[in-house]
Amino acid sequence: MTYRNVASDRLAWQEKMAYGVGDLGYNFLLNCTTLYLLIFLTDVAAIPAAWAGAIFLVSKFFTACTDLVTGSVLDNRSELGPRGKFRPFLLWTIVPLALINTALFTSLELPLITKTALFTLLFMMFGAFYSFGNASYGAMVPALTKRLQDRAELAAWRQGGANTGLLLCSVGFMPLVLLFDKPQVGYSVAVLIYSVMGAAAVLFCYSRVRERHVLPSVGNESGFSAVQTNARAVLANRPLGILALANLLTLAAFNTKLIVQVFYAQYVIGDVSMIAYMSFISIGCIYLGVLLVPFAVHRFGKLPVYLAGIGVWICGDLLNYLYSESALDYILFTSQALWGSAFVNSLNWAFISDTVEYGEWKTGIRTEGLVYCSLTFCRKCSAALAGLIPGLVLAWSGYVPNATQSTETQSSIANLMFLYPICALICATALMLLFYPLTDTRYQQIVRELAQRHALASPRRPHHRIHEQSTPSPDSHPLRAGQNG
């Protein structure tokens, strides 16, 4: 058994690519609901806009709470098999997730209250399975590598996969729907295709990545006592708290734009088909941003690049609000905004991996699952707001499905697209600039101190040793974290 300097181990690009394919799959599934469920509920299922917003609020808040349960389950796993600590959840959850995603776009002739309750229940189930699968996927990064640059590159690959999922869902979903005379049939066929592709991508990721640095739960505590201890450790993690609030704001801005863009294209610009080619161009700019992330981080550091991305994003939205007069203007300014968002959304995942080590250094307790799920709790809360706020604003402004909208309604849609994200991004900038304490230099120091602690503790606490498996196969033999060398 070999132990070596884990900070120097490099991941192969093939494994990083496979990890990115995982978020491609999850975004095929997630973006069906993020982009199209609200308009499906209002225009096909005939649910009032305010009620549809309430479905998002209740379901997303439930999912956010589920994330905290997921984190506790992951952190308290001690009997680890050959698949690792996190990877099994990808396998166990993806098929139910794909089936529920397909069911969400089926509208039955039922009373309004019954139909609303059914959609809420299905959306809650979708969120629960998505939480266990995607949270495990994200929390797995510290088990894959300790290298700062590898983590930045994994974050870039992940964001690249997410952007590809968003691109293909934006470009292909509505054209598939429009192939059919009945919208209900079109939505059902489109979501089935994307659900199958999403499941296949997640299974590919599961088969190709390998957990190397696995630390089972330690100590004599179990059950609720262990949950309390882990929760206190997470609450003491200041960088995590700041990052979680910043994520709530940036994701509220991003998700609101994704949800409202269909309404903006159809009822303000007057051409819903433009979503396809607009997405192709603007998300191409996101790819450019993602490709630049590792190089920019290496040159300037994570936080400066993150803040610069927010600045570019704000400028794009402001130009759109003040000067956009045509579809071409909208595409150009939106491309600028999304290019900036690529840096922000990519680096969120690199930041969260760093806070795992900070929390262990600060409290002596390692909580990958609960740290990651605390972040996703805030992200799901932002998704709840991104569904609720547009629904309420549309209802208050007099939105009428499948009809020409009033000037007031069109103005409200534009405000949701541009002014609301700008305000959220300004607040996120202030949080990260003034209060985030974990610089790259400080993180490297923390990693070195933790390595020293593990080395000193290993004779008495062998499960703290970080074990590097010598064989490349992910399932070739049991993980031996916890055994003597």
Per-domain boundaries in the chain: 13-211, 231-455
71 closest CA partner among 339, 304, 366, 374? 374
* Tens digits of residue pLDDT in 91-126: 999 999 999 999 999 988 889 999 999 999 999 999
Give dist(CA 235, CA 213) in Å, integer: 24
**pLDDT confidence bin for 297, thresholds 50/70/90:** confident
Identify the residue whose tokens are 């166990």. 92
Q: Which fold has domain 13-211?
A: Growth Hormone; Chain: A; (1.20.1250)
* Burial of residue 471 (number of CB atoms within 10 Å: 0-12, 13-18, 19+): exposed
Give dist(CA 101, CA 120) in Å, integer: 13
Across the strands, what pairs with 134?
none
DSSP-derived 3-state class of residue 401: coil
Give dist(CA 344, CA 156) in Å, integer: 11
* Amino acid identity for residue 457 in this structure: A
Q: Which residues of 92-124 are buried (b: 16+ CB within 10 A; e: fewer)?
A: ebbebbbebbbbbbebeeeeeeebbebbbebbb
Q: What percent of the chain has pLDDT over 70?
A: 88
* Helical residues (DSSP H) of 86-182, grouped into ranges: 87-103, 112-139, 141-144, 148-178
* Tens digits of residue pLDDT in 308-362: 999 999 999 999 999 888 878 888 898 899 899 989 988 887 788 788 888 888 8
- Sign, CA dihedral 445-450-451-453, equals positive
| pLDDT of 291 above 70 | yes
**What's the confidence (pLDDT) of residue 121?**
96
**What's the confidence (pLDDT) of residue 214?**
65
For 81, phi then psi, to 5°, come to -90, -170
Q: Tell me which H or E stretch contains 21.
A: helix 13-43
Whole-number average pLDDT of the chain? 82
Relative orientation angle of helices 368-396 and 407-417, to the nearest 10 degrees: 160
Give whole-number Cα distances, 114 to 54, 211, 327, 382, 384, in Å: 14, 45, 40, 27, 21
Per CATH, the homologous superfamily of domain 231-455 is MFS general substrate transporter like domains (1.20.1250.20)
Q: What own/partner pairs with CB < 8 Å and gap ≥ 24 does 7-11 have? A: 7/146, 7/147, 7/447, 7/448, 7/451, 8/147, 9/145, 9/146, 9/147, 9/212, 9/468, 10/145, 10/147, 10/150, 11/144, 11/145, 11/147, 11/150, 11/153, 11/154
* Tens digits of residue pLDDT in 368-393: 777 777 777 787 787 777 778 888 88
* Amino acid identity for residue 75 in this structure: D
Give dist(CA 306, CA 8) in Å, integer: 25
- Which residues are CB-neighbours of 172 under 8 A, at least 6 positions away? 190, 194, 276
Q: Tell me which H or E stretch contains 37.
A: helix 13-43
Fold match between 13-211 and 231-455? Answer: yes
Q: Tell me which H or E stretch contains 200.
A: helix 183-208
Higher pLDDT, 478 or 394: 394
Give dist(CA 285, CA 283) in Å, integer: 5
Give dist(CA 152, CA 178) in Å, integer: 39
* Tens digits of residue pLDDT in 78-91: 666 677 888 889 99
| pLDDT of 204 above 80 | yes
- Which residues are CB-neighbours of 183 under 8 A, at least 6 positions away? 43, 44, 177
Tokens of 251: 């994701």
Question: First CA to last CA across the chain, in angstroms?
Answer: 6
* Tens digits of residue pLDDT in 451-470: 888 788 765 544 433 343 43
Q: How many CA atoms lie within 13 A of 77 on its CB side?
A: 22
